[in-house]
Amino acid sequence: MEDAKKPAPRWISGIEPAKELLSATGTQILELECREQPARLAELIAAYRSDNTICAELKNLRELAARPGPIFFIGMGASFCSSISGSVLLQTHGRLSFSLDAGEWLHYALPTWSRAALSVLLTTSGESAELVELFKSAEGRPLGLICNNPVSTCWNLAQNKLPILAGPEYGNATKTYTNATAAAIIVASEILGIPWEKDAEQAAEAFQKDLDPIFALRQQLEEFCHGAANTEIIGRGASYGGAIMSALCIREMSGHRATPHTGAGFKHGPNLDVDASHVAIVLALGRAADLSIKLAQECNRRGGKVLLVTTEDHPATDLLFPVKISSVPEPWEGITSLLVPQALTLAMVEKTGCRLPPRFQYGVMEQ
């Protein structure tokens, strides 16, 4: 009788995990899911190009976005920062767009919501309380959903929905961030009416090519960064999303305090207290890469160490550890920018242990 009353497990993405995964450590899960990213990204690109249902959903979102007004991407945590590449792409092509925190939007901005042409809500789980409440409060507003859980509350409430296709994810957001970022870029491209397939393929190839060599450097990355009192991660444009996600990954998995900044935000704030206790991870990518290089040089002059992620060659010094990655079309650096911080995080938890155990079921989600 008691077994009959016991609720069914709320497995991540609605899929029961393989038995061998249930005994895996957080460190093992992190590496496994990081290394799954290239294949999952390639699968999403193929599906968004050819799957009839997904193509129809993209067409629906493009038609909804034709109304006057801005395009909003709304999410929290990894879902929020995965949308930044999409809003940046729209902005650089002249369409007003913003990435918004779902909690702040829910509690403070609902009276302005009718001004949006389209709002795209992002949630990996589809069960986040704020996102569920936003769907319930939508009152007929044009909405889209990007979600990794096709049996979730948000998925069932949404009329226009796109899958993240990352598979179940049991640790920190890795492949869900990667695929949600790609989905946001594709949605933005469709709204703008610009081709995205070639750029997506180039980004996916670069991501796959760079992952193994960068992860092979992970012990050297950890040794360079070890002992820092503060780790600041700095990105501009689409790679600002990568900076936020990188800080979340380091903090959640290792417990080490890391903070993301835009380049200008760092320049006019935390840059003033840089000293030998600091490590800055500078993502010098995209159209403002030269400004990021300049910022890295200034950090070095103040005695701070810099882990520099760049598409160009730079000589290493005691204070500068350059890592060259492949160049990708804008704004796909929102994805490739994450590889070096992910490799660093894996090395940190391999050395000191992982503070975030794997999670195989959704818990209670509340505001």
Q: For residue range 157-214, list pLDDT tens digits in order.
A: 999 999 999 999 888 899 999 999 999 999 999 999 999 999 999 999 999 999 999 9
Question: What domain range is 153 assigned to?
Answer: 19-201
Which among 122, 39, 34 has a CA at the least distance from the CA of 78?
Answer: 122
Confidence label for 3 from pLDDT (cuts 50, 70 and 90): low
- The tally of domains found in the chain comes to 2
| Domain assignment present for 12 | no
Q: What are the backbone angles phi and psi of residue 101, rounded to the nearest 5°?
A: -75, 125
Residues 178 and 94 in one domain: yes
- Structure tokens that stand for 238 in this block: 């689409």
Same structural domain, 146 and 174: yes
Same domain, 171 and 74: yes
Please give the mean pLDDT across all residues of the chain: 94
- Residue 13 domain flag: no
pLDDT computed for residue 96 by the predictor: 98
Residues 215, 116 within the same domain = no
Is pLDDT of 232 > 50? yes
The answer to whether residue 7 is domain-embedded is no
Do 240 and 212 have their domain in common?
yes
Which pTM was predicted?
Answer: 0.94
Q: What are the phi and psi torsion angles at 145 (to 5°)?
A: -135, 135
Could you tell me if 338 and 271 lie in one domain? yes
- For the cut 70, the answer to whether the pLDDT of residue 340 exceeds it is yes
User: At which of 201, 229, 253 does a domain end?
Assistant: 201
At 116, which amino acid appears? A
Q: Roughly what angle, to the nearest 10 degrees, separates helices 238-254 and 84-92? A: 170
Burial letters for 122-136: b for 16+ Cβ neighbours within 10 Å, e otherwise? Answer: bbbbbbbbbbbebbe
* Residues, the chain: 367
196 and 54 inside one domain: yes
Single out the residue of 101, 35, 62 nearest to residue 244, CA to CA: 101
One domain for residues 223 and 145 = no
Of 17-26, 71-80, 193-202, the poorest mean pLDDT is in: 17-26
In a shared domain, residues 73 and 140 = yes
At residue 364, does pLDDT exceed 80? no
| Closest of 279, 278, 280, 292 to residue 333, by C-alpha | 292
**70 pLDDT higher than 80:** yes
Q: Within this chain, do residues 193 and 311 fall inside the same structural domain, yes or no?
A: no
Give kind and range of the element (H or E) at residue 322. strand 320-324
What's the pLDDT at 1?
Answer: 44
Longest dimension (CA), the chain: 70
Statement to judge: residues 274 and 195 lie in one domain: no
Task: Report the alpha-carbon distance of residue 351 to residue 27 in Å, rounded.
Answer: 10
Q: What digits encode the pLDDT tens for the residues 253-310?
A: 999 999 999 999 999 988 888 999 999 999 999 999 999 999 999 999 999 999 999 9
Cis bond upstream, residue 163 (ω within 30): no
